[in-house]
Chain A
């Protein structure tokens, strides 16, 4: 007879990524059937109810500890595991090493007497991001807003205030930035070099940086601006400031702007700004009819008078028996790029981030068609961590598509760098191996691995594990996609 335990801790708070790690740790304890440690938000309350826990009245500001154990005598161990994991709370550096005895309760308090070069990194829930980011601007500091779901009027207010003070707002929904060699959010480690990047796309920026790094051309600074910056509503406010910043840096010989095609009047403003700069500016636009990111990297190399290397490929994928392409991505821009390339050859691709609304997938993410899924999309990250941190959902889908006899090629991306999983291949390589084993016929697995040798995970080590599992690995996502199409073409 299993035993359920629910306790509410009013006023206790921890961020959702940390609590997911706590929940996972408790789930591993012997005798624990189910465990969830979460804030009492409506979404989490539903989740706990679905798990069969009966909840008292709780608010979003209450921490809920819910554990079900096989027998009541296991409860002590389970709750001890909760305490231990809560004490660690995902932070890998001891709090004492950071020197703060009483941590500040607001961003403004943390910035009292600060060095003007201090940067603020905001990743609170989107509805609360403006208050913290405005504290940073009021104190005269640049700010990166990693948070997503920030209302567009909040973004406009922040960027208007920043422009008055010559400050930079990176974001909102800014996944990647590199400032003077320091990676923020999800960022690859590169050799400092002559290219500066302004990016409205996180994984687009990462792909570009990694390709350039392989070509021996470093990116010293990559300023994220958020996916909406070049829309009419925002008018490219952060892009214009970022361009001026990079122009003022004498080490930057070329600026590359990575973005979806901007609104016409914003494109004109960016172009006008770029024309006044001493540093040449290239636009790498992401969209139908535009060159892919690998081509953008090649153009940047051309502008610098550098040779374009062979983009590396490791391993060789097998044959394909099924006739459908199944893409499972953690990077939104990488998924988008693969869809744009594949649609030219295969026709329509169904997706949760479809190129047109009629191609949208239902909630089960399945269709008897070519499909590409972005597991980093907001709808799939509600209540769980980003797939670059928690691969569970994608691994489940990998097993599922591999069993489908119509699947011919599985296309995957792996994104390395700071902020990402410590060892993505540790779970993905065995999953690829079992997918290949479980497949009813011949199956090809093609992977794009966005990373550098300098990344904490080590590009080579990750690639080796994936190749040994039977995958073919590319550094270029565009090349990986074209290779997947060629393999499928052999079938059709």
Chain B
């Protein structure tokens, strides 16, 4: 015979979950929230992609199956071909005006470390003007940066 499910996972209306619980079957309710408005179709597009499962497995394996190894220490500018005033940051391309507080703070600290300013607070005007400084994603240079990701 067809057995009833051992448990029903419900996502959506509590009313329907109640109806299952009243039949003495264990219910687990997902605390679902709607996605950001306007993103429903994009999320469905990703979830429906037949390549997604395998791609996720490969991506995860690429991270978990390897062990990082320190091979050398050298100034980033030499290895990445950066000039004085070139800064790299985490995440996708972003303008100074749109950067978050932690990212701004990291860039300002880096500017002081590089000797572009004496006081990190002075670096804000430097990045606002964009004169003699540039910012670019780490990923465009095969690099990763710590914390706010600033190199």
Contacts and interface: CB of A to CB of B under 8 A. Distances in A.
Q: Do A and B come from one complex?
A: yes
B2 A91 contact: no
B16 A130 contact: no
Interface in B6-41: 6-23, 25-37, 40-41
Contacts, number: 188
B32 to A, nearest CB: 6
A146 B32 contact: no
B1 A121 contact: no
Contacts of B27: 93, 98
A161 B28 CA distance: 24
Given A98-B27, A127-B41, A418 B34 contact: no
B59 interface: no
Interface stretch (A227-235, A245-253, A461-469): A245-253
B16 A157 contact: no
A305 B33 CA distance: 51
Contact of A124 (B17, B18, B29, B32): B32
A492 interface: no
A180 B23 CA distance: 12
Interface in B92-118: none
Instruction: Kindly name the residue among B14, B29, B31, B37 whose own CB sees the greatest number of chain A CB atoms within 10 A.
Output: B14
Interface in A96-113: 98, 100, 103-107, 109-111
A280 to B, nearest CB: 18
B26 A131 contact: no
A92 B20 CA distance: 11
Contact of A111 (B9, B19, B41): B9
B9 A107 contact: yes
Contacts of B50: 160-161
Contacts of A184: 8, 16, 19-20
Nearest to A385: B15
B38 to A, nearest CB: 9
Contact of B32 (A105, A220, A250): A105
A29 B54 CA distance: 55
A130 to B, nearest CB: 4
Given A118-B6, A120-B8, A180-B1, A157 B48 contact: yes
Interface in A249-265: 249-252
Nearest to B46: A131
Contacts of A106: 30, 32
Contacts of B142: none
A105 B31 contact: yes
B81 interface: no
Contacts of B44: 127-128, 130-131, 151, 154
Interface in A133-162: 134-136, 138, 141, 146-147, 151, 154, 157-158, 160-161
Interface residues of A, number: 76
Given A118-B6, A179-B4, A418-B23, A61 B11 contact: no
B75 interface: no
A1 B42 CA distance: 48
A17 B28 contact: no
A185 interface: yes
12 contacts: A15-B13, A15-B15, A17-B13, A105-B32, A117-B6, A141-B9, A161-B50, A179-B5, A180-B2, A180-B5, A184-B8, A184-B16
B6 A17 contact: no
A137 to B, nearest CB: 10
B11 A107 contact: yes
A141 B11 CA distance: 14
Nearest to B43: A131
Instruction: Kindly name the residue among A39, A119, A252 whose own CB sees the greatest number of chain B CB atoms within 10 A.
Output: A119
B53 interface: yes
Nearest to A42: B37
